Amino acid sequence: MDYPIVLALEDFVPVIFGTAGFALLSRTAPTPRARRAGLAGAMLIGAGGIAKCVWKLGYAAGAGDWKLFEQALFPLMAGGATLLAWALAVTVRRGRRTQAWPFALALGLCAAGSIVARSLNPLFVAATLGVTAVSVLGAIIAARYQQWWAVSLYVLGLVLVMGLVPLRGSDSHHTVAFQWLEQGINTSAQAALLIAAWLTLRAFSSDRSPVTVGESS
């Protein structure tokens, strides 16, 4: 497929939207440690997306097939989603101690599976489940503050992303028109996430209860 540069450039848009949304969500974490972990997770997810975009841009510009950038997506996304999911779990538990080891164990098993299988598929599963968990936890936090528009947008984002799965199995997947369709859907999904995260953070910041003394994460 002759991948146009403008299509490669547009692919940065959903990455920026998604990274910003994840960063906003990380600020709902009620403890400094969880906020740092959540922000680091958002940045790792963003770094994975940017790496994939750089690969696409290099390919479109005829600079070569930079496989390392393409393959960085799922490892970085899986690690970042794990950190952010843990941070949001702390938020859902209102700052009470939340064990990090189950999250780390799940990521470690997927990473080990990828090494043994010599395939990124296990890390793809970890990344997909992790990002889905982030949206679900974000929706739970939004519902706590009766931000039903935000909840609806989290659901919409998940539906749009899941809708990409059957599209990628289409015979027309490698056409430019289909790529525009997929990127349009992904951009809409990440825009929905960004707006939902902003609504969630706004509600959290205006009606936040202090963490009980002695509670940690």
pLDDT at 212: 38
Sign of dihedral through CA atoms 167, 168, 174, 177?
A: positive
Nearest Cα neighbor of 22 from 86, 107, 84 is: 84
**CA–CA dist 159, 185 (Å, integer):** 10
pLDDT at 97: 87
**Quick check: 37 and 91 in contact, CB under 8 A?**
no
Q: CA-CA distances (angstroms) from residue 166 to 41, 62, 162, 182, 200?
A: 28, 29, 8, 11, 30
pLDDT at 1: 61
Per-residue pLDDT of the chain (217 residues; tens, 9 = 90+): 677 899 999 999 999 999 999 999 999 999 999 999 999 999 999 999 999 999 999 988 888 788 899 899 999 999 999 999 999 999 999 888 899 999 999 999 999 999 999 999 999 999 999 999 999 999 999 999 999 999 999 999 999 998 887 877 777 767 888 889 999 999 999 999 999 999 999 999 887 553 433 344 5
**Quick check: 42 and 193 in contact, CB under 8 A?**
no
**CA–CA dist 167, 71 (Å, integer):** 21
